[in-house]
Structure 1
């Protein structure tokens, strides 16, 4: 029997989950409800750097999500249309990474402690050790999300711009998938979920070829610009660009990379990362309008939604297939 599935959220988590479910569950009808879509999602605002950042404590699950996402992006990068999809390879450095958990990076090519010669090229303060280097991917959502959207529509998926304030709004559906990001807090009353406000600035600086993560700040090249940031302001819902934050970001990043002073500022943006003690990918049953509805949650990725999106989509699809008796229980 064809499954009628509602998905809340058209960000990278909602779209990748929809795409994977369409692949795995033949004949399903997917309808995505959204407040914002690309280019106005949190993922679009991000650099799209695939690197564990501001995520929860569930390290074992995260390692699997990261591994599966890296493999997926490697396949996409080998396509002729990788640039149009928004996938590129990127090397760079994590400076002052004393809280780095090497287990989370074991799948990244060339992850290692940076050499003295490498550090000498950019490190001006010897107190900012240790330094790690690695090769990873940029998954630029302003290209990637429209590509996912197109693929979902080609398989019969529908998109409806509508704010969902309660699961009751979707009680006609037998299956609801909650990929609402920080909006999941209000749908579920989840006290473990809270926003971490991030403010960034996009500049034209084509001479910068490597990414640099240092403390709360970063300089990350994308396909056609460079993103500098940022802020990690917990439980802050302000979506307006703050001049004081802008000045602090600019000063700190220009101190690290003085050539940025010659770059042209293109735009500034603010996003709310949905941080949780652990990423929630699980099923539950709820009574809605006197009928039992299956709700599949996939939210709480913090600053690592891009980094773990495909792995979480795989887990969500597996849970749903098991629920529908398509797969044996793990």
Structure 2
């Protein structure tokens, strides 16, 4: 290894891979980073996601402390971008959010972010009527949204301006890399199931509707995985479904009809919205999310995958830990560390 100019590969160009690549460039000097992937920008699962910062309670690291650290680090990472002039280009925007339930008070609470975001409070009686009658419980919170349709091109541009290299190539195993790297970050999402023979990694199928609703400035959640999240250029994301262990990448007309019906019931003004597209993505669900080192056929690898539906919001936190692990590996003997 050239200690002065280490050569590092990042496998995967979704939000996790591109964020890890950015962190590497920010944390290390004179590092040569190459991103290798078969899909980029709008072709990645990240581009389907609404990208709102609202981690679910199923998002877990090895310990509660690690999970909380990932979430906190991610929040401050996105806040840093939000407070710069680059925020619009990066797709990061502040967002007010309501979550309502007709049956369960606990679903309107989120212990992972209640002490983190600027505001998280119960709604009052008038706010319960914002989305019609029958809502018995609700919370309001302020958060951020990361639109990957902007963030991924922005991250790629900055990465390349700093000397990063991008190669379009599907990596079938760690010995098929086009050159010898001092360190490899595995950020391949569902691809890790085959790359690592990881049977703990399960697809969580999601389907959403992209609708033109420029009047929408606030996000809304309701029962039965119903959500309406505004975005850039007036395009809102309407969802959704969570279908465990489904590999179906086709748009299901029945899912689409159910999503639209639930969203219009939650917010009737959506009936006049123009439907722009229907999107399907397979969320890489794993418990816990895998962030750890491994020596594979002589290749030093740091895994960072399995974020499920929370990769966009929590990629900085897991990425920061993965990079720290990688830096430690380059300073020590991997065999002694594992």
> Aligned partners of 1:203 and 1:56: how far apart in 2?
28
What is the CA-CA distance between 1:54 and the residue it aligns to? Answer: 6.8
Given that 2:240 and 2:259 are in contact with CA atoms closer than 8 Å, whether structure 1 keeps it comes out as yes
What is the CA-CA distance between 1:47 and the residue it aligns to? Answer: 1.0
What is the CA-CA distance between 1:115 and the residue it aligns to? Answer: 1.9
The answer as to 2:48 corresponding to 1:16 is: no
Note the 1:59-74 alignment, pairs <5 A.
Answer: 59-74=64-79
Given that 1:55 and 1:303 are in contact with CA atoms closer than 8 Å, whether structure 2 keeps it comes out as no
> Aligned partners of 2:283 and 2:115: how far apart in 1?
24
What do you get for the CA RMSD once the two structures are aligned? 1.7
Candidates 169, 172, 176, aligned match of 1:162? 169
What is the CA-CA distance between 1:188 and the residue it aligns to? Answer: 1.0
Match of 2:273 in 1: 263
Candidates 124, 136, 146, aligned match of 1:115? 124
What is the CA-CA distance between 1:72 and the residue it aligns to? Answer: 1.5
Match of 1:241 in 2: 251
1:52-107 CA deviation, whole Å, 9 max, x = no partner?
03743334322211211111211211222321111110011122362444144321
Match of 2:325 in 1: 319
> Aligned partners of 1:70 and 1:104: how far apart in 2?
9
What is the CA-CA distance between 1:130 and the residue it aligns to? Answer: 3.1
Question: Residue 103 and residue 70 in structure 1: after superposition, are their counterparts in 2 closer, same or farther (change >3 A)?
Answer: closer
1:224-269 CA deviation, whole Å, 9 max, x = no partner?
2111011100111111111111111111111111111111011111
Given that 2:100 and 2:128 are in contact with CA atoms closer than 8 Å, whether structure 1 keeps it comes out as no
The answer as to 2:229 corresponding to 1:220 is: yes
SS in 1 for 2:140: strand
Given that 2:213 and 2:270 are in contact with CA atoms closer than 8 Å, whether structure 1 keeps it comes out as yes
> Aligned partners of 2:132 and 2:270: how far apart in 1?
16
Candidates 200, 203, 209, aligned match of 1:195? 203
Match of 1:41 in 2: 44
SS in 2 for 1:98: helix
> Aligned partners of 1:213 and 1:122: how far apart in 2?
10
SS in 1 for 2:55: coil
Size of the aligned set, in residue pairs, is 321
- Segment drifting more, 37-46 vs 167-176: 167-176
Match of 1:75 in 2: 80
Return the TM-score normalized by structure 2.
0.90
Match of 1:56 in 2: 59
SS in 2 for 1:27: coil
Match of 2:242 in 1: 232
**Unaligned 5+ runs, structure 2:** none
What is the CA-CA distance between 1:194 and the residue it aligns to? Answer: 0.5
Given that 1:55 and 1:304 are in contact with CA atoms closer than 8 Å, whether structure 2 keeps it comes out as no
Given that 1:62 and 1:308 are in contact with CA atoms closer than 8 Å, whether structure 2 keeps it comes out as no
What is the CA-CA distance between 1:325 and the residue it aligns to? Answer: 2.5
Return the TM-score normalized by structure 1.
0.92
Match of 1:274 in 2: 284
SS in 2 for 1:138: strand
Question: Residue 87 and residue 240 in structure 1: after superposition, are their counterparts in 2 closer, same or farther (change >3 A)?
Answer: same
The answer as to 2:256 corresponding to 1:251 is: no
Match of 1:25 in 2: 28
> Aligned partners of 1:259 and 1:160: how far apart in 2?
44
